[in-house]
């Protein structure tokens, strides 16, 4: 997929660079997956596998039948990979890719796909995140914002906290004049159980700095997100 980075005009004289997730990674997906699986702790896999086997027994199935024999180990490895955020350092993901630049515009990185696990039922929620910041003499490498999103999503989470954690971290490392984060997600804990509402989408927003006080700036960000959602 090709990287999309296009300069857009906006009515208030400053420039916007809108960046989509496509092509942002400077490592192949296979290399990233390999790193994550290599870091899986065999002791944790063994402990988790034991308890998963017991859960299978408790719910009324036979963990020794052909289809389930390897399931405890598979699920343990999958869980550790999905929740790799506990063993990841977001600062290491940035790897020093914060650069000095006197850029006065707005940077928007949109449609970052993510997956996470709800901490209340340990069922998945997933969707897209869009993040904007107003630089203050510094910018961050383009692939780093999707990576930051992945680190914080790869834990037991609630969407509200995830939105805030991403926003505060980006603000801290870039030293920007303001950050905006928008997350839209589907929650399987709502779709598969309880109310069983499959089409409900949860939206959360975080604003800091100038995004809090400048209504026109906030409006520009929200309009970009709306357009991005339509263009999907």
- Tens of pLDDT, residue by residue over 157-210, are 999 999 999 999 999 999 999 999 999 999 999 999 999 998 999 999 999 999
User: Which one of 21, 118, 157, 165 is the catalytic residue?
Assistant: 118
Give catalytic status of residue 159 as yes or no.
Answer: yes
- The yes/no answer on whether domain 5-25+92-231 falls in CATH 3.30.70.270 is no
The pLDDT value recorded for residue 227 is 81
Stretch 3-12: mean pLDDT: 47
198 or 23, greater pLDDT: 198
pLDDT at 6 over 50: no
Q: List the one residue out of 151, 147, 159 whose CA is nearest residue 118.
A: 159
The pLDDT value recorded for residue 230 is 74
User: Which one of 4, 27, 119, 160 is the catalytic residue?
Assistant: 119
User: Which one of 31, 51, 54, 120 is the catalytic residue?
Assistant: 120
Give catalytic status of residue 30 as yes or no.
Answer: no
CATH number at 40-82: 1.10.286.10
pLDDT above 70: percentage of residues in the chain: 83
The pLDDT value recorded for residue 2 is 40
Give catalytic status of residue 121 as yes or no.
Answer: yes
pLDDT at 21 over 80: no
Give catalytic status of residue 51 as yes or no.
Answer: no
Give catalytic status of residue 203 as yes or no.
Answer: no
**Which of 33-42, 67-76, 79-88, 189-198 comes out lowest in average pLDDT?**
33-42
The pLDDT value recorded for residue 14 is 52
Q: Cβ distance 115 to 153 under 8 Å?
A: yes
The pLDDT value recorded for residue 22 is 43
DSSP annotation of 27 reads S
Q: Where are the domains of the chain?
A: 5-25+92-231, 40-82
Q: List the one residue out of 41, 50, 39, 40 whose CA is nearest residue 73.
A: 50
Stretch 138-149: mean pLDDT: 97
φ/ψ of 59, rounded to 5, equals -80, -5
User: Which one of 36, 93, 164, 189 is the catalytic residue?
Assistant: 189
């Amino acid at each position: 997929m090709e990287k999309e980075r296009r300069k857009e005009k906006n009515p208030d004289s400053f420039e916007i660079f809108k960046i989509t997730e496509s092509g942002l990674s400077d490592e192949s997906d296979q290399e990233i997956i390999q790193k994550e699986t290599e870091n899986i702790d065999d002791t944790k896999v063994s402990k988790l596998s034991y308890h998963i086997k017991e859960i299978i027994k408790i719910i009324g199935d036979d963990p020794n039948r052909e289809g389930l024999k390897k399931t405890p180990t598979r699920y343990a490895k999958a869980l550790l990979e999905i929740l790799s955020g506990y063993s990841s350092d977001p600062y290491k993901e940035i790897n020093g890719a914060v650069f000095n630049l006197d850029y006065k515009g707005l940077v928007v990185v949109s449609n970052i796909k993510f997956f996470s696990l709800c901490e209340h039922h340990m069922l998945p929620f997933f969707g897209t995140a869009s993040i904007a910041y107003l630089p203050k003499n510094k910018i961050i490498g383009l692939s780093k914002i999707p990576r930051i999103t992945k680190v914080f999503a790869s834990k037991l989470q609630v969407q509200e906290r995830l939105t805030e954690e991403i926003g505060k971290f980006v603000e801290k490392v870039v030293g920007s004049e303001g950050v905006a984060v928008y997350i839209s997600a589907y929650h399987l804990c709502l779709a598969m159980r309880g109310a069983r509402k499959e089409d409900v989408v949860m939206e959360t927003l975080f604003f800091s700095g100038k995004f809090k006080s400048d209504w026109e700036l906030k409006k520009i960000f929200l309009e970009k997100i709306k357009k991005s959602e339509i263009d999907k």
